[in-house]
Amino acid sequence: MLIDVLLLALFAAQHSGMARPSVKAFVTRWMPTALERSLYVFMTSLAVWVLCLGWQPLPGHIWSAGGIGSAVLDAGFWSGVALVYVATLLLNHFHLLGVSQAYRRYVARVSDATCDRLQVHGPYRLVRHPLMTGLLICFWSASTFTAGHLLWATGLTGYILLGTYLEERDLVARFGTAYRSYAARVPAFIPSLLRGSTRARITTSRVVMPLPSAIRFLIARSVRNAPATAVKP
């Protein structure tokens, strides 16, 4: 169990540490800015590989569902996967992976544009962190839930809470009043069923696009354009 906890801590330190603006500024002193995101993704992939390679299974089952219960939990898992996909699509897959930045710098040879306005699309009008909501659903929706899975889900849930806290400090520093206003109206992870339709009204600093149009727009320009919303660290 101690090994598993240390592996989770290692992943959290890398994933949040390298996402901090001060660390990014230090890294880009020694390498091109266009490659910083690619390095971050590579190091994250390495941390995940180490986590999976070194993970020690724990004995014991918390629950093992069958029948309708299993079907419901499996459906919950895949709905979480779908939400993660949509959230990353709206953020721009290629930008998240660092491909867009390198392409613009070394192939298209144009500057990498940054988004100076907070723009909200699709599920980001319901929750501020739909990517994390999808991951949380995936972590906890399992028809067979072992003791090791409980440790995994609990550790990564705690990391998500810490990581989004740090991320939101950076977003406030980047977008200022616009993000504070957005955060005051839109919940972090769980949508408000009663006030969801009014919380994310368009403001002068945020542009809302209908979801199908947003998806078509981002697919067409996924490599060439900057992300449509603030990039997740």
- Predicted confidence (pLDDT) per residue in 50-65, tens digit: 999 999 999 888 888 8
For residue 226, tell me if it sits in a domain.
no
- Note whether 132 and 164 are within 8 A (CB): yes
d(CA 207, CA 199): 14
Q: What pLDDT band is residue 34 in, cutting at 50, 70 and 90?
A: confident
For residue 165, tell me if it sits in a domain.
yes
d(CA 202, CA 218): 20
Q: Measured over all CA atoms, what is the biggest interatomic distance in the chain, rounded to whole angstroms? A: 56
Is the predicted pLDDT of residue 177 greater than 60, yes or no? yes
**Number of domains into which the chain is organized:** 1
For residue 227, tell me if it sits in a domain.
no
For residue 229, tell me if it sits in a domain.
no
Burial of 118 (0-12, 13-18, 19+ CB in 10 A): buried
For residue 50, tell me if it sits in a domain.
yes
For residue 233, tell me if it sits in a domain.
no
Expressed as residue numbers, the domain containing 92 is 2-220
Q: What is the pLDDT of residues 183-230, one digit of tens each?
A: 999 999 999 875 544 444 433 333 333 444 444 444 444 444 444 444
**3-class DSSP state for residue 216?**
helix
